[in-house]
Amino acid sequence: MSLRKSRVEMPAQDPKERVKNFKEVALGYTSEMAREEASRCLNCKNPLCKKGCPVEVDIPEFISALKEDDPARAAKILKNKNNLPAICGRVCPQENQCEMHCILGKKGEPVAIGRLERFVADWEREQVNLKPEKVETINKKVAIIGSGPAGLTAAADLAKLGYQVTIFEALHVPGGVLMYGIPEFRLPKEVVQQEINYIKKLGVDIQVNFVVGKTATIADLLEEGYDAVFIGTGAGLPNFMNLPGENLNGIYSANEFLTRTNLMKAYLFPQYATPIKIGKKVAVIGAGNVAMDAARTALRLGAEESYIVYRRSAEEMPARHEEVEHAREEGVQFLFLTSPVAYKGDEKGHVRAMTCQKFALGDPDESGRRKPVAIPGSEFDMEVDTVVVAIGQGPNPLVPRTTPGLILTKKGNIQADEETGATSLPNVFAGGDIVTGAATVILAMGAGKKAARAIHRYLQGIEK
Amino acid sequence: MYEILKNEVLGSNIYLFEVKAARIAAKAEAGQFVIIRLHETAERIPLTIADYSREKGTITIIFQAVGASTRELAEYEAGQKILDLVGPLGVPSEIENYGTVVCIGGGVGIAPIYPIARALKEAGNRVISIIGARSRDLLFWKEKMAAVSDELLIATDDGSEGRKGFVTDVLKDLLEKEKIERVWAIGPMVMMKAVANTTRPFAVKTIVSLNPIMVDGTGMCGACRVAVGKETKFACVDGPEFDGHEVDFDLAMKRLAIFKDEEQRILAKGQCGGGCGCH
Ligand SMILES: Cc1cc2nc3c(=O)[nH]c(=O)nc-3n(C[C@H](O)[C@H](O)[C@H](O)COP(=O)(O)OP(=O)(O)OC[C@H]3O[C@@H](n4cnc5c(N)ncnc54)[C@H](O)[C@@H]3O)c2cc1C
Ligand SMILES: Cc1cc2nc3c(=O)[nH]c(=O)nc-3n(C[C@H](O)[C@H](O)[C@H](O)COP(=O)(O)OP(=O)(O)OC[C@H]3O[C@@H](n4cnc5c(N)ncnc54)[C@H](O)[C@@H]3O)c2cc1C
Ligand code: SF4
Ligand code: SF4
Ligand code: FES
């Protein structure tokens, strides 16, 4: 096979069809496609790609196994480092992680590492379903708070070392944002649950319906015999803009809109009992991944028009390029340099219109992006009947409020060492969005991995 | 899974369940609530912890079968299990020795006012309780309320028991007669609004327990937001109790009605059994 400059395309559902269903958009490689893409990898002696992977996946090794048509070995290599490969292969921002460093990216397109990872993980789940190896147990207990990617990763790595691990999760299913936030059409919930089942097979006990800070505090858990605690509670507190009329009916936080749809399956109402009200014309405020997910979900729920309303311009959008493209293909419309200043409702208290202001781009701000400056007198009204506010989340205060001695940052995040997750309390570690603020699945997993290592050292009496 | 140990009918359409939930019972305080999800396709609904026994490891919930979810719950029998139950959620009531306090429970709101009255009594307050309902068949827990109150007053809209009229009529007389330090009121939104309006001219601090629509109950979704003073609060983590003089009740009532159409649709589904293919 001659070396191709561009990567093998991954088939996807036709945009016209997929906007009517919640099934997965990207369909994944076939074995032939995977082998062809794998053959592009140079198996570098000094693989730069590895530097970009926070969970240290042995990238050239697993790709080599694929090249040799041995997906079983590829899966083993992959799962050795990555406990959630089918998830990462789907939602990892690969272009900023492993793929950004791939040597092939210098002259052409980098190896599609994420797509290959997805292929291997899906193959393994469907074909062999690897059983974890038995390990010698260590008679020490670790409590993990939150079952998002950070908590799951820390739990799995500690279980692999032999610790007795219990995850405490506030919601009725584990998975965190993977279950309640990221939509079915990007990350099927079945895939998430199967990856979590693997973690359970490692011996991890998961207790759902358990809100730490309410059902029990961290002090209670330590008293009950846990030797160390990892906090991975995520960034789950939705921000609002405090605009007049923001509490009108029909105005949701992205978290509420997506939780009703994903976690509670409101798209199957009334078969599932949780309702969601969707209008004809939906405006989503913000332009990150969460906003794209909300705008695309709105179309699938039956909205006629779905708008992204963003106060900066197309270049500054924080969402992944691929997500923006998918949204565009499905018919999501973009209103740039625009932001709401007030909402107007009808007599029943339902939103009917949004007063917006236009912006122009001024000088760059601290983030290096050009700062939006309001244009005086540019206000106009836009009719809408559903609004989704997707302007970010802050740290949930339930655990900090009930854990004396836990030092927080100015923004209310938990202060923790970047390399170890160590907090101001000796036996308490933290990582993921609760430490960094809303970030990515893979960074949360990386933090979970580092913390697991540090907890191991701590419990072996090595050092903190 | 959480086993139902007791299912008792308290009045017309009002049910009491005792549920095994040792961890929640161990931590529960007056003013807190749980969220339940009956089974896989059910919604998450909040219910106040009306009572708890730390020894038995049980909590008591009382509810009115008003819509699809509560009607479905009402069908459950002792021995059956609820899939999900989480709590205790919300901030406990602020219990101190204030002096003379009034506790008002309207309709199914009698249930959540009970543990508050009991805690206030235990803290040394002189507790005057007022319970009210549309008519006598909706009244319950008279003896239990009497046992934790120095004085128990009753009002029914139709006069079938106690004084004919609203709980606010009884309250007004009390406020004119003696010095009241604090008032707690739990019941339908309109009742709590009326109580707040009654105490305002007397400048008596009035605590109400809001019952907005909720999803997670942990501060994650913002469905439960309410306007209190100039601020937006999340009732599940900042409340559910707030200063009644600061609450925007009209907004809260409108927000409660958002899913009216959907509530009708799902009820209709329940009535024809669902398998008809008509929807
Ligand atoms: C809609 C959406 C789309 C996204 N898309 C992407 C994407 O495509 N790619 C990407 O890389 N990232 C994406 N992200 C970001 C990514 O999902 C998060 O950065 C990541 O999930 C953070 O992981 P975490 O483990 O720190 O926390 P979370 O995933 O937030 O999990 C925290 C868990 O802790 C639980 N919890 C909280 N408090 C308590 C408590 N007191 N007691 C017990 N349990 C508690 C929560 O219920 C939750 O289950 C997206 C986020 C959202 C919201
Ligand atoms: C913190 C909190 C504590 C609560 N404690 C109790 C309790 O102890 N006992 C109890 O019976 N109920 C309580 N509720 C209300 C209870 O959650 C709702 O009655 C229930 O969700 C209705 O579900 P449904 O499907 O049966 O009715 P729906 O079909 O959803 O509603 C039927 C009717 O009830 C109204 N309604 C809907 N939600 C609420 C609500 N949250 N409060 C008041 N009316 C509502 C609707 O407008 C409609 O008229 C509490 C609510 C909260 C937020
Ligand atoms: S986990 Fe993410 S960063 Fe690591 S190899 Fe896979 S796609 Fe790349
Ligand atoms: S840098 Fe690129 S080509 Fe080299 S090993 Fe990694 S994926 Fe293969
Ligand atoms: S119910 Fe979701 S934040 Fe309160």
Examine the pLDDT at B183 and tell me if it is beyond 50. yes
Examine the pLDDT at B86 and tell me if it is beyond 60. yes
Pocket lining for ligand 1, CB < 6 angstroms = A 91-93, 145-151, 168-171, 176-177, 181-182, 210-213, 232-234, 236, 258, 289-290, 293, 396, 398-399, 432-434, 438-442, 444
Full DSSP string of A407-423: -B-TTSPBP--TTT-B-
Band the pLDDT of A366: cuts 50, 70, 90: confident
| Contact between B222 and A256 using a beta-carbon 8 Å cutoff | yes
For ligand 2, the distance from its centroid to the CA atom of residue A216, given in whole angstroms, is 26
Dihedrals phi, psi of A422, to nearest 5 degrees: -65, 135
Q: B93-205 sits in which CATH class?
A: alpha beta
Examine the pLDDT at A319 and tell me if it is beyond 60. yes
Please state the rounded mean pLDDT for residues A236-262: 95
Q: Is B216 helix (H, G, I), strand (E, B) or coil?
A: coil
Band the pLDDT of B263: cuts 50, 70, 90: confident
**pLDDT score, position A2:** 52
**pLDDT score, position A464:** 46
Please state the rounded mean pLDDT for residues A366-379: 89
- Measure the CA–CA gap between A327 and A359, rounded to whole angstroms: 23
Highest mean pLDDT among A126-140, A417-431, B255-269: A417-431
**pLDDT score, position A368:** 82
- Measure the CA–CA gap between A162 and A221, rounded to whole angstroms: 20
- Measure the CA–CA gap between A317 and A329, rounded to whole angstroms: 17
Q: How far is CA B239 from CA A179, A341, A449, B33, in A?
A: 27, 28, 36, 10
The string of pLDDT tens digits covering residues A148-181 is 999 999 999 999 999 999 999 999 999 999 999 9
List helix spans (H) across A224-340.
Answer: 254-258, 289-300, 321-330
- Measure the CA–CA gap between A180 and A257, rounded to whole angstroms: 10
The string of pLDDT tens digits covering residues A331-356 is 999 999 999 999 999 999 999 999 99
**pLDDT score, position A135:** 84
- Measure the CA–CA gap between A118 and A84, rounded to whole angstroms: 10
Q: Is A396 helix (H, G, I), strand (E, B) or coil?
A: coil
Q: Is A291 helix (H, G, I), strand (E, B) or coil?
A: helix
Q: How far is CA A358 from CA A62, A337, A343, A354, in A?
A: 50, 6, 15, 13
Full DSSP string of A200-247: HHTT-EEE-S--BTTTB-HHHHHHTT-SEEEE-----EE-----TTTT
CATH topology of domain B2-89: Elongation Factor Tu (Ef-tu); domain 3 (2.40.30)
Please choose, from the candidates A85, A121, A97, A93, the residue with its C-alpha nearest in 3D space to the C-alpha of residue A49.
Answer: A97
Interfacial A residues in 142-181 facing B (CB < 8 Å): 170-172, 180
Please state the rounded mean pLDDT for residues A420-434: 96
- Measure the CA–CA gap between B163 and B169, rounded to whole angstroms: 9
Q: Which residue of chain A comes nearest to B2, CA vs CA?
A: A209
CB B183 within 8 A of CB B102: yes
Q: Which residue of chain B comes nearest to A277, CA vs CA?
A: B259
Q: Please give the structure tokens belonging to residue A404.
A: 């004396």
The string of pLDDT tens digits covering residues B96-132 is 999 999 999 999 999 999 999 999 999 999 999 999 9
A201-216: b (≥16 Cβ within 10 Å) or e: ebbbebeebbbbbbbb
Q: Which residues of chain B are within 8 Å of residue A265 when distances are taken between CB atoms?
A: 41
CB A319 within 8 A of CB A289: yes
Band the pLDDT of A370: cuts 50, 70, 90: confident
The answer to whether the CB of B216 is under 6 A from ligand 5 is yes
CB B45 within 8 A of CB B217: no
Q: Which residue of chain B comes nearest to A212, CA vs CA?
A: B87
CB A228 within 8 A of CB A459: yes
* Surface-to-core class of residue B181, CB atoms within 10 Å of its CB (0-12 exposed, 13-18 middle, 19+ buried): middle
Residues facing residue A408 across a β-bridge: A414
DSSP 8-state assignment for residue A26: B
Angle at B88 between CA B86 and CA B92, to 5 degrees: 155
Band the pLDDT of A1: cuts 50, 70, 90: very low
% of chain A surpassing 70 pLDDT:
98
For ligand 4, the distance from its centroid to the CA atom of residue A99, given in whole angstroms, is 8
Band the pLDDT of A463: cuts 50, 70, 90: low
Examine the pLDDT at B264 and tell me if it is beyond 90. no
Q: Please give the structure tokens belonging to residue B132.
A: 């009210």
DSSP 8-state assignment for residue B172: H
CB A275 within 8 A of CB A249: no
**pLDDT score, position B277:** 39
Please state the rounded mean pLDDT for residues A294-313: 96
Inter-chain contacts counted by CB atoms under 8 A, chains A and B: 122
Domain ranges of chain A: 15-126, 141-236+395-460, 239-389
Q: How many CB atoms lie within 10 A of CB A244?
A: 12
Domain ranges of chain B: 2-89, 93-205, 210-274
CB A395 within 8 A of CB A237: yes
Full DSSP string of B61-123: EEEE--SHHHHHHHT--TT-EESEEEEEESPPP-----SEEEEEEEGGGHHHHHHHHHHHHHT
Greater model confidence, A112 or A1 = A112
- Helices A441-459 and A149-161, interaxial angle, to 10°? 40
Q: Is A251 helix (H, G, I), strand (E, B) or coil?
A: strand
**pLDDT score, position B275:** 39
Dihedrals phi, psi of B16, to nearest 5 degrees: -120, 130
CB A412 within 8 A of CB A400: yes
Examine the pLDDT at A68 and tell me if it is beyond 60. yes
**pLDDT score, position A164:** 96
The string of pLDDT tens digits covering residues A83-104 is 999 999 999 998 889 999 999 9
Residue reference for tokens 């923004």: A411
- Measure the CA–CA gap between A19 and B271, rounded to whole angstroms: 32
User: Tell me: domain A239-389, CATH 3.50.50.60, correct?
Assistant: yes
**pLDDT score, position B279:** 38
DSSP 8-state assignment for residue A34: H
Mean of per-residue pLDDT scores for chain A: 94
Band the pLDDT of A369: cuts 50, 70, 90: confident
Please state the rounded mean pLDDT for residues B257-278: 68
Q: Which CATH architecture has domain A15-126?
A: Orthogonal Bundle (1.10)
Q: How many CB atoms lie within 10 A of CB B279?
A: 11
Please state the rounded mean pLDDT for residues A195-214: 96
| Contact between B88 and A216 using a beta-carbon 8 Å cutoff | no
List helix spans (H) across A94-188.
Answer: 98-101, 113-127, 149-161, 177-180
**pLDDT score, position B205:** 97
Examine the pLDDT at A237 and tell me if it is beyond 70. yes
Examine the pLDDT at A308 and tell me if it is beyond 80. yes
- Measure the CA–CA gap between A390 and A340, rounded to whole angstroms: 12
Q: How far is CA B142 from CA A287, B122, B153, B263, in A?
A: 56, 18, 10, 32
**pLDDT score, position B253:** 95
Q: B168 Cβ partners below 8 Å, 6+ apart?
A: B191, B194, B195, B197, B198
CB A440 within 8 A of CB A94: no
Q: Is B64 marked within a binding site?
A: yes
**pLDDT score, position A15:** 94
| Contact between A270 and B27 using a beta-carbon 8 Å cutoff | no
Positive/negative CA dihedral, B101, B106, B107, B112: negative
The string of pLDDT tens digits covering residues B193-235 is 999 999 999 999 999 999 999 999 999 999 999 999 989 999 9
Band the pLDDT of A107: cuts 50, 70, 90: confident
Examine the pLDDT at A134 and tell me if it is beyond 50. yes
Please choose, from the candidates B152, B78, B88, the residue with its C-alpha nearest in 3D space to the C-alpha of residue A170.
Answer: B88
Q: A141-236+395-460 sits in which CATH class?
A: alpha beta
Q: Which residues of chain A are within 8 Å of residue B261 when distances are taken between CB atoms?
A: 277
